[in-house]
Amino acid sequence: MKIGFITLGCDKNTVDSERCLADLVHRGAQYTADLDEADVIVVNTCGFIDAAKQESIDALVQAGQYKTRGSCQAVVAVGCMVQRHKGELEAELPEVDLFLGASEMDRLGSALQERGVLNAAPDPVAEHPGVRLYTGDLPHVRYLKVSEGCDHGCAFCAIPLMRGKHRSFALNAVVREAQLLETQGAREVNLVAQDLAHYGRDRRAEGARLPELLEALVAETSIPWIRMLYLYSAGITPRLLEVMAREPRILPYLDMPIQHASDPVLERMRRPERAHTLREKIARIRQMIPDVAIRTTCIVGFPGEKAEDFQRLLDFLEEMRFERVGAFTYSPQEGTRAALLEDTVPEALKLDRLERLADLQSAISAERYERFVGRVVPAIVDRAPAAGEPAVARVLWQADDIDGITWLDGEAPAGALVDAAIESVVDDVNFRASLVQVRSVPATITRRDRSGARRLPVMATIGNGSFGR
């Protein structure tokens, strides 16, 4: 039985898909990246904003078409959008055979077995459930989810309605999973959660918060790069900054969404921070970690956003000069407090404000990156040079898939950690650099084949149903 997977939305969904795939392989399935070959196609949906919902629906409709023209026997919808809208989706998408919300994804394997779609006899030599099956093309870059759900009451956000209350995973379990990712070739591990800074607050008896988790990951793994994605600024404590400043393997990078900078809008959004507290926090961060890159996120067109509110946001971005800013227009989400507010900003005005913000931040990002030109900085190689093209790398201030790339002149294999001399800023996102030296290359990680007679490199087998032993 061949399983195809389509994962939409955030990196937390990527982790969920990898776990599901591992369980399915354990039960006798084989992963395929070619949907024309798939007997079952699973779509892990996103329901964060309207555009994400539409993308999920389109993917489900397209997956259903494989049932009429290929070998596909079943289409399965899982994840966040299903968690909130299962009844509506069941009524509107008859081509989908099974719907499981985010809280039910661990039942996917057993549900397929019950329907006779999946072989009920698990492969005796496959890994135990809980191992993650990687299917991408950058096995040295992995994501590690440290908690589930969210306790924050932001007026615009439906995540608590889809993912439930905040639940931190046990520190020892997180460390063991990081060690597993390391055996599978991970050189950069990105910690993800709805709010990383909230980690451990619900497990007070264990006495471990995010700083202690970071220290444990540094002490008990050899992963060279550990990056943090998505922290509320209110939870960024002096203790956390001290650990970041002290540990070179924890990258000087913070993904800290502010959403807005006008106090009236922040109040309607039910955000805990105000402009003056954000300003003070950012100053403290840069004082303790001078080379830190701060990425943030903003919403434009929130109900009641006046011209002067939007101008305050632009002025704040001009003053703070973040390295990167992601922005999107507000869309009301059913069940949220903001959905009860009158959507007073016309769609055309939302898009105009989004464009103005993007133009401003583009110039700011380019200017901020210029300070790195002429410096030799650490980088990780994502793709080796090929066909006359330079290598594709990322300096430590560039997170995978969201912060651009560095074109690197020089010979180095994928996964290598190198020193790179930054020669120019290509635009507001990308760098051009030259290789100075290779610091380290990926270790040859091996596993036994099924006969036990020889050992194979794991980097050649991750993604096709095999696991590191």
- Residue-wise pLDDT for 431-446, tens only, equals 999 999 999 888 754 3
What pLDDT score does 23 carry?
86
Q: Are 68 and 36 in contact (CB under 8 A)?
A: no
Report the mean per-residue pLDDT for the chain.
Answer: 86
- Distance in angstroms (rounded) separating the CA atoms of residues 362 and 350: 18
User: Tokens standing for 101?
Assistant: 């919300």
- Distance in angstroms (rounded) separating the CA atoms of residues 94 and 182: 42
The band of 296, judged by pLDDT with boundaries at 50, 70 and 90, is: very high
- Distance in angstroms (rounded) separating the CA atoms of residues 99 and 47: 14
Q: Are 166 and 195 in contact (CB under 8 A)?
A: yes
Average pLDDT estimate for 61-65: 86
- 50 has pLDDT over 70: yes
Distance of CA 29 to the CA centre of its chain: 26
Looking at per-residue pLDDT, the higher value among 118 and 65 belongs to: 65
What pLDDT score does 54 carry?
87
What pLDDT score does 189 carry?
96
- Distance in angstroms (rounded) separating the CA atoms of residues 128 and 122: 10
Instruction: Give per-residue burial for 196-211: e unless 16+ CB within 10 Å, then b.
Output: bbbbbeebeeeebbbb
- Distance in angstroms (rounded) separating the CA atoms of residues 446 and 153: 46
Looking at per-residue pLDDT, the higher value among 369 and 468 belongs to: 369
Contacts of range 449-455, beta carbons closer than 8 Å, 24 or more positions apart: 450/125
User: Tokens standing for 397?
Assistant: 């201030």
> DSSP per residue over 397-460, as a string?
T--TTTS--EEEES---TT-EEEEEEEEE-SSS-EEEEEEEEEE-----EEE-TTSSSEEEGGG
User: Tokens standing for 32?
Assistant: 């395929």
Give residue-wise pLDDT tens across range 228-286.
999 988 889 999 999 999 999 999 999 999 999 999 999 999 998 999 999 999 999 99
User: Tokens standing for 171?
Assistant: 């520190």
Average pLDDT estimate for 307-322: 97
Q: Nearest CA to 155 among 232, 262, 270?
A: 270
Looking at per-residue pLDDT, the higher value among 127 and 145 belongs to: 145
Give residue-wise pLDDT tens across range 396-430.
999 998 899 999 999 999 999 999 999 999 887 89
The band of 320, judged by pLDDT with boundaries at 50, 70 and 90, is: very high
The band of 33, judged by pLDDT with boundaries at 50, 70 and 90, is: confident
What pLDDT score does 252 carry?
96
- Distance in angstroms (rounded) separating the CA atoms of residues 122 and 454: 24
Q: Are 39 and 3 in contact (CB under 8 A)?
A: yes
Q: Nearest CA to 78 among 8, 151, 175?
A: 8
What pLDDT score does 80 carry?
86
Beta pairing class for 417-425 and 376-383? antiparallel
User: Tokens standing for 262?
Assistant: 């006008």
Give residue-wise pLDDT tens across range 372-394.
999 999 999 999 998 889 999 99
What pLDDT score does 446 carry?
39
Beta pairing class for 293-300 and 250-255? parallel
- Say what the pTM is: 0.86
- 448 has pLDDT over 70: no
What pLDDT score does 373 carry?
93
| pLDDT above 70 as % of the chain | 92
End-to-end Cα separation, the chain, in angstroms: 24
Out of 231-235, 320-324, 359-363, 407-411, least confident range: 231-235
Give residue-wise pLDDT tens across range 20-30.
888 888 888 88
Give residue-wise pLDDT tens across range 190-221.
999 989 999 998 888 788 899 999 999 999 99
User: Tokens standing for 346?
Assistant: 């016309």
User: Tokens standing for 425?
Assistant: 């800023």
